[in-house]
């Protein structure tokens, strides 16, 4: 592999992280806005169409017909999901207690 190919793969990974951050960050923002809205379904539908359109167009553009770039872009997309989940989690003291599972003994 040449240096240009390595750079192309690095850009594909970075683009995947950016696309994932926009997709999952947009989902987080939508949920926060829609729960207090009278038209929550419209928020969710509009957000879904916009986020999916941007993500699919971005993946198509970044891949450019190369499966290696598509794979790295998808890897960045998934890692961005983990990052958004970590960044948007509630503070430790504000988490709802988890219910204990009951015994299913006969």
Q: How many domains does the chain have?
A: 1
Residue 24 lies inside a defined structural domain of this protein: yes
Q: What is the pLDDT of residue 17?
A: 96
Which residue ranges in the chain fall short of pLDDT 70? 93-106
Question: Are the C-beta atoms of residues 86 and 26 closer than 8 Å to each other?
Answer: no
Asked, for residue 69, whether it belongs to a domain, the answer is yes
The pLDDT score that the predictor gives to residue 91 is 81
The mean predicted confidence, pLDDT, of the chain is: 90
**What pLDDT is attached to residue 103?**
64
Percent with pLDDT over 90 in the chain: 74
Coarse DSSP helix, strand, coil percentages of the chain, rounded to the nearest 5 percent: 75, 0, 25
98 occurs within a structural domain: no
Tell me which residue range forms the domain holding 68: 3-86
């Amino acid at each position: 592999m040449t240096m240009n190919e390595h750079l192309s793969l690095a850009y594909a990974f970075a683009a995947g992280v950016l696309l994932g951050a926009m997709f999952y960050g947009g989902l987080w923002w939508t949920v926060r806005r829609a729960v207090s809205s009278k038209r929550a379904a419209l928020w969710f539908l509009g957000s879904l169409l916009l986020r999916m359109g941007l993500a699919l167009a971005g993946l198509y553009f970044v891949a450019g017909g190369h499966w290696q770039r598509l794979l790295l872009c998808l890897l960045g997309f998934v890692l961005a999901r983990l990052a958004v989940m970590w960044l948007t989690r509630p503070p430790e003291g504000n988490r709802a207690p988890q219910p204990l599972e009951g015994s299913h003994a006969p």
